[in-house]
Amino acid sequence: MGNSGSTAIGKCLVDAVGGDKALLADKQTPLFQLAHVKPYNLDISVEPAAVTYPKSAEHVAAIVKCAADNDFKVQPRGGGHSYANYGIGGESGVIVVDLKNFQQFSIDKNTWQATIGAGSLLGDVTKRLHDNGKRAMAHGTCPQVGIGGHATIGGLGPSSRMWGSALDHVQEVQVVLANSSIVKASEKENSDVFWALKGAGASFGIITEFKVRTQAEPGESVLYSYGLQVGNAQAKADAFKKWQALISDPDLSRKFASQFIVTELGAIITGTYFGSQQEFDSLNISSRLPHKDESVIVLKDWLGVVGHWAEDLALEIGGGIQSNFYAKSVAYTKDDLIPDADVDKLFSYIEKTDKGTPLWFVIWDLEGGAINDVAPDATAYGHRDALFYHQAYAVNLVGKVNSKIRNFLTGFNKVITDALPGHDLGAYAGYVDPALGDKGAEAYWRGNLPRLQKIKAAVDPKDIFHNPQSVRPAKS
């Protein structure tokens, strides 16, 4: 660490990691921005005060104490996929705690509870669970995402309708709090902190270890897709209406996961059915959707199923590739279905609007099921009533996101909000949107925000764990 000998915070951080300067980097470190800051969204420039690589909970606690004693903010980083670089604070001058060294893993073969280090990436979690008893848990499709941020903000994925969100699997954590204490948190111990960590984790502490319930892998899965690679706006609108009617069926099997994806190339309905082809065929899905370019693959290999999700995603956004991008999201409940006439307007808007880039997409993602079984106030996660989300995403391949790109995405969301006046449409905190500004916290956590602010005031009154849209302490 370049300035470790010359500043109070530098000396303190060196001591915090046991004198090992290899576990620290700052702006005097060669290739600091490229090798250590590594912003995911190149459109938002951030220069943290330091990036640290602790190897133990004690290291993390000592780093947090250094920050607090020297008036620095702190943010943990797992996979580093924050859309606004909030994993590196989102603002300059923050101390980043990178958890890549926390790779511990074990599983209790009696309870099938797994212990997972907070620096583990989802791809590694999948493989380690598979290799230790063919177990699984619900999580998203991008293997480079870290479980630390994922399982504390929501963690939605294809199996969530069956098993709940990733955070619903979490039964206990080891966490470092703002006062630099290392504690266990669960429903029985430090329950307020545990409640807050399950939905707003980065505002309340740095989790070093998760204990999670696991499920037996499905024995067979059907991967399906129905493509509209060509077709005008009306054809795509009609396809979306059919998809929306299908996914809003209250009797739809929880084994059924689905996405409606629109790109420059056309539209595709794709997803997974966690069961046999015979079961899938009995649902008559193809008769309820436009089944042009139908593809159905049956896989009995769980790693193959999860790998297929990652391949699909890579086609759309390049997985873990850094880029200049902007994204917006909307959470829809069963009462927020887009009226048919407005679906027509939406797809007409998509067809006619200059997007400013060929690399854009919108994904509508079916949720519901087991996620909705949990009471809205049982965890901090703010969208227990969400039936589906959309994520609209655009990349500029040649520089900063320009106003044309931004206006396309903003206008897209406006068509939907105009179609649903008076509806309280929230946003998913995993697709963090800087344009929401101060309203972000309300959009992400909704009715749970006041309790979050009270807990924040109790356990982090100086707002040590801070990013531009984190939970702020309640004012006394």
Let me know: does 32 contact 25? Beta carbons within 8 Å: yes
Q: For 84-120, write each residue's pLDDT tens digit.
A: 999 999 999 999 999 999 999 999 999 999 999 999 9
Query: Residue 149: its pLDDT value, please?
Result: 96
User: What CATH number is given for 105-217 in this structure?
Assistant: 3.30.465.10
Calculate the alpha carbon distances from 202 to 144, 171, 175, 216, 402 in Å: 19, 18, 11, 30, 29
Kindly compute the dihedral angle of the four CA atoms of residues 198, 200, 206, 208, in this order, to the nearest 10 degrees: 30
Rounded-to-integer distance, Cα 143 and Cα 155, Å:
13
Query: Residue 5: its pLDDT value, please?
Result: 47
Query: Is 296 a residue whose pLDDT tops 50?
Result: yes
* Among the ranges given (58-72, 141-155, 226-240, 254-268), the one the predictor scored with the smallest mean pLDDT: 226-240
Query: Residue 294: its pLDDT value, please?
Result: 83
Q: The pTM is what?
A: 0.95
Strands 105-107 and 113-117: antiparallel
Mean pLDDT over residues 145-156, rounded?
A: 96
Instruction: State the architecture of 221-430 in CATH terms.
Output: 3-Layer(aba) Sandwich (3.40)
Burial (CB < 10 A; 0-12, 13-18, 19+), residue 68, is middle
Let me know: does 49 contact 72? Beta carbons within 8 Å: yes
Asked if the 8-98 domain carries CATH number 3.40.710.10, the reply is no
Query: Is 208 a residue whose pLDDT tops 70?
Result: yes
DSSP assignment, residue 120?
-
Rounded-to-integer distance, Cα 471 and Cα 453, Å:
6
User: For the chain, what percent of residues have pLDDT higher than 70?
Assistant: 96
Map residue 24 onto helix, strand or coil.
strand
Rounded-to-integer distance, Cα 412 and Cα 432, Å:
17
Rounded-to-integer distance, Cα 137 and Cα 116, Å:
12
pLDDT band at 4 (very low <50, low <70, confident <90, very high): very low
Residue of 449, 431, 461 whose CA lies nearest to 83:
431
Let me know: does 155 contact 135? Beta carbons within 8 Å: no
Q: Facing residues of 212 across strands? A: 114, 170
Let me know: does 429 contact 449? Beta carbons within 8 Å: no
**What ranges do the domains of the chain cover?**
8-98, 105-217, 221-430
Angle between helical axes of 340-352 and 403-419 (0-180°, round to 10): 170
